[in-house]
Structure 1
């Protein structure tokens, strides 16, 4: 569980530094640039060549897609009902549609279900969340940020998004026989900077005191990510006859807190970054209660 300890320490350090330390100008944009353009692509490029598609494990992968597209549909609908701005809709679709399936998902699932559960969690993360962040995330960010929402602009942003390029390169490297260990090790070391730096950045921006009009959006976002999304994935699994550990891990991955990199992407595209970071921080804290409770109710608990 050391990964979870690092997560909370970095978040706490960011909060403390924001309050008590003199910070250099531009520190948050600088950290976020590194996370999205260097650390995340390096991690994707190191991990994707190892992914092996197993059709028997379709459920946890499809569960990630249900979580993402369900969030998009839900918040687009709520946006019309409550007259939310496009930036708020994009913020919630992005941050609450993508889960923290690696930095929280891996240690939590392994602690609850051992190495067998972890192997299923990895499939959900690398075939589900990585592609959704690299492709779907940039589409949502482009559509709702107002930075050129035409088809050609979105395609251009997608094709120039470093994580998407890294994913395509990783697939090609995997088909070619894999990456040389001498190259893979430094990529992993660079990728490992993602979590501490991203959480430190989130801590620097973290606010629990939102404006009154943002509180409902916070509740809706966390309600989807921590409760409704896993229930939707659970219902899909039961309807499809999925059971046992595959069902349990797929539901748990859908129930993970919002993804760190998604909040950084929301910040880069100016999609209500204060709301995005509060949803992330509150989601991380709440999920430490909701995940174990949910696990007790699932078949393989």
Structure 2
């Protein structure tokens, strides 16, 4: 958890005091999405065990994403928001930081048993949503060729999606050799520090006046409404115990780092995306433990 704040703070300080080279942010973001994230997916996905009893935390991630899409598309029509804003809110507040924040927080709150449920929610829920749904939303709302063929092509060529498919196949045949997995994990470990450093370089608290309402609405969905919806779904389905608790808390995690970077690459209100990410990380450290106290 400390590295999240250290790298975010370093980015903010370097933006203010250091002489940075041109193109540093696009360069870092390219590495995160095209090298570090695929390496992490390749390393982790082969270890995921599919268990029909753990459908709830996975479906909870889908409900969070598609609920965000439906909510912000509706609000976009009501408040005449630009397509870029609707796409930004859907991406950043529909996808949660279920790995780099979710893993350590669930392990701290519920031990290894909680961590195992958190991994299922992340690997079978958030990663597929980022690799497929995230590209669909980014393509549609950025105006960069939103035809069905173009969207399908971008999904199929998105490095994280390709890695997801390869990881599933490798897992079925026994996994990677230990030395290969170790290399991929080491490359993947660069994702968090570099991504948070990039966010810090772009972090702004001084939003335009008309962005403040969007910020509050987005974080209200991600940190409060989405977990409440997922909790209601779980109770209605008879889910209880640790599976219910971890599934709800994963839905309540701060926005996903990679989703904010994807919004930046597709020019979907990058300043709003990065501010929601930074503010969401800070608020999440309070809201998730409070939510945990109210759950079974």
Q: TM-score, normalised by structure 1?
A: 0.98
Which residue pairs with 2:118 in the alignment?
Answer: 121
Residue among 92, 108, 111 paired with 2:108: 111
How far residue 175 of structure 1 moved from its aligned partner, in angstroms, is 1.2
Which range moved further: 127-136 or 175-184?
175-184
* Partner Cα distance (1:214, 1:134) in 2: 27
For this pair of structures, how many residues does the alignment match? 296
What do the CA deviations read for 1:61-113 (whole angstroms, capped 9, x no partner)?
00000000000000000000000000000000000000000100011111111
CA distance in 2, matches of 1:183, 1:248: 35
Matches of residues 76-91 of structure 1 in structure 2 within 5 Å?
Answer: 76-91=73-88
Aligned equivalents of 1:102 and 1:14: distance in 2? Answer: 21
Shift of 1:178: 1.0
1:164 to 140, 146, 161: 161
State the alpha-carbon separation in 1 of the partners of residues 123 and 261 from structure 2. Answer: 19
The 3-state SS of whatever aligns with 2:254 is coil
Matched residue of 1:201: which SS?
A: helix
| 3-state SS, counterpart of residue 124 of structure 1 | helix
| Structure 2 CA distance for aligned equivalents of residues 30 and 57 of structure 1 | 38
| Aligned pair partner of 1:240 in 237, 241, 251 | 237
Once the two structures are superposed, residues 8-63 of structure 1 have per-residue CA deviations (whole angstroms, 9 ceiling, x without a partner) of 10000000000000000000000000000000000001111111100011100000
Q: Following the alignment from structure 1 to structure 2, what is the Cα–Cα distance between the partners of residues 117 and 171? A: 23
- Does 1:28 pair with 2:25? yes
2:195 to 193, 198, 202: 198
Displacement of 1:260? 0.3
1:197-243, Cα deviation, whole Å (9 max, x unpaired):
00000000000110000000000000000000000000000000001
User: Structure 1 residues 169-178 or 96-105, which shifts more?
Assistant: 169-178
Superposed counterparts of 1:41-80, under 5 Å: 41-80=38-77
Structure 1 match to 2:264: 267
Question: RMSD of aligned C-alpha atoms?
Answer: 0.5
Runs of 4+ in 1 over 3 A off after TM superposition: none
1:143 is matched with which residue?
140
Which of these residues, 276, 279, 285, is aligned with residue 279 of structure 1? Answer: 276
How much has 1:182 moved relative to structure 2? 1.5
Hey, what's the Cα distance between the residues in 2 that align with 1:256 and 1:55? 23
Hey, what's the Cα distance between the residues in 2 that align with 1:156 and 1:61?
25
Q: Which runs of 5+ in 1 are unaligned?
A: none
2 CA distance for matches of 1:171 and 1:156? Answer: 20
Counterpart in the other structure of 1:17: 14
Give the distance between the partners of 2:173 and 2:286, measured in 1 at CA.
43
Partner residue, 2:211: 214
* 2:222 counterpart of 1:225: yes
